């Protein structure tokens, strides 16, 4: 088996970074910001969507790997729903502060990614993709937050 990230997964993953890249660029250069899409708001809303999406990915790994029976089911499915629970909690945080939660949350998903991969539930290339995407997402969020000032 190869650790190489399949081209479709890599390209779609990179395309999924576009809203984060927009938020980082527009957060630093207000002339690039679209009136209907404030940079920090885009980063937060899209970030929360992707964060919840990760629950679905983890759920798929657990179910496809048939690790849902008995005590193991509680562990794997519990890990799978954790990002969705955090996302719901993030909804009660005031806008402008959700990005701070995402800055901590995205790196916090990596140990879950690692556990799924180590258990053979995620593809061998999964962690390489997640490390790449997480590094870009966190960098973009950091830049968007630092450039947002009092925008919201």
What's residue 148's pLDDT?
Answer: 58
What's residue 150's pLDDT?
Answer: 43
Residues of the chain with pLDDT under 50: 1, 150-152
Angle formed by the axes of helices 18-28 and 39-64, nearest 10° = 160
Contact present, 42 and 96 (Cβ < 8 Å): no
What's residue 103's pLDDT?
Answer: 94
**Segment 39-54, tens digit of pLDDT:** 888 999 999 999 999 9
What's residue 2's pLDDT?
Answer: 55
3-state class percentages of the chain: helix first, strand second, coil last, to nearest 5: 75, 0, 25
């Amino acid at each position: 088996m190869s650790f190489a990230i399949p081209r479709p997964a890599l390209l779609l993953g990179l395309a999924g970074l576009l809203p984060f890249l927009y938020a980082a660029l527009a957060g630093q250069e207000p002339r690039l910001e679209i009136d209907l899409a404030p940079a920090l708001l885009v980063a937060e809303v899209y970030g929360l969507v992707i964060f919840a999406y990760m629950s679905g990915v983890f759920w798929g790994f657990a179910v496809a790997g048939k690790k849902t029976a008995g005590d193991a089911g509680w562990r794997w499915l519990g890990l799978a729903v954790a990002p969705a629970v955090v996302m719901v909690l993030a909804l009660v945080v005031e806008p402008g502060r959700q990005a701070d939660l995402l800055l901590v949350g995205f790196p916090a998903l990596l140990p879950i990614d690692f556990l799924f991969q180590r258990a053979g539930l995620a593809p061998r290339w999964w962690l390489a993709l997640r490390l790449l995407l997480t590094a870009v997402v966190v960098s973009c969020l950091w830049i968007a937050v630092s450039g947002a000032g009092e925008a919201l």
